[in-house]
Amino acid sequence: MRMRGRQGLKSNRERAAMGGLASGLLCALAAAGVFAAAPVLTWNPSGAPVWDLATQNWRDAGGAPAVWAQGAVARFDGAGGAVDVQTGVTAGGVTFASGGYTLEGAVLTLGALARIDVLGGSHTVRNTLGGVGPLSVAVQSGRLSVDGQGKVLPQVLLEQGGGALALAGESAGGVSVASGATLLVNGAGATVGVGLSGAPGGVLEIKVE
C-alpha cells in the first residue's frame, strides 16, 4: 500500500511538472503573438488606390491612417472601386462588407488559414490569389467573381451562404462546395475541379457563355 502511495505521489508531482511546462509554453507562445488574432485594416484610400507596403491607404482599429501590415485582414466597406495590388503583399484574409470592389494587379498572397468573407455587394477579383491554402470563402450576401484574368491557386472551401461565388478564371486547387452554397462557373475558358460536401441541399450551377 505504501509503495502504491509513493508511486501515486510521484505521478502527481510529474503531472504537476508537466502542467507547469505546458502552461509556460502556452504563455511563451501567447507572448510571442502566436495566438494573437490578425489585425484588421480598413481600406481608406487617400490618393491613388494602390495596395502596397508604403502608402497610408488604410485605417487601423482606432481610425488612424496606416500602411499595410503583412498578414493583416483587409476590410472593404465603402462605396467600392478598383484596388491595384502591388507586388509582395500578403494578407491573412479579406472581408468585403459593402459596395463593389475590384482587386487587380499583382499576386495577392493569402496566409495558410486565410478566408474571404462577402457580407454584401458585388466584387471582382482580376488578379491571382496565391497561397498554400485551403482558402475558406463565405458569401453571405451578394457575389464574388473571379473573372477570366483572375486565378485562384489554393483549394477553395466554399461555405454555406446566401450569395454566390462565380468563377470565370482558373481554380487550380479545385472547389469544395458545402451544403447551402452556390458556385457559378461562367465561360468556356474556366477551369475548375468541383467536389460537393455536407448534407444534400448545396447548389451548383454551371454556365458556359
**pLDDT one-digit tens code per residue, 1-37:** 332 333 333 344 443 444 444 444 444 444 444 446 8
Say if residues 66 and 41 touch (Cβ distance below 8 Å). Answer: yes
C-alpha cell at 47: 490618393
pLDDT on residue 177: 86
Q: Which residue has the higher pLDDT, 182 or 190?
A: 182
Residue 148 has pLDDT above 70, yes or no: yes
pLDDT tens digit string along 194-204?
776 655 665 66
pLDDT on residue 53: 98
Low-confidence winner among 40-44, 70-74, 94-98, 149-153 (lowest mean pLDDT):
149-153
pLDDT on residue 168: 85
pLDDT on residue 37: 83
Say if residues 167 and 139 touch (Cβ distance below 8 Å). Answer: no
| Residue from 116, 87, 119, 122 nearest 102 by CA | 122
DSSP per residue, 148-173 = TT-EE-S-EEE---SSEEEESSEEEE
pLDDT on residue 173: 84
Task: Name the DSSP class of 22.
Answer: H
The neighbouring-strand residues paired with 157 are 136, 176
pLDDT on residue 115: 96
Residue 186 has pLDDT above 90, yes or no: no
> What percent of the chain has a predicted confidence (pLDDT) above 90?
55
pLDDT on residue 200: 61
| Residue from 183, 116, 182, 104 nearest 148 by CA | 104
pLDDT on residue 180: 82
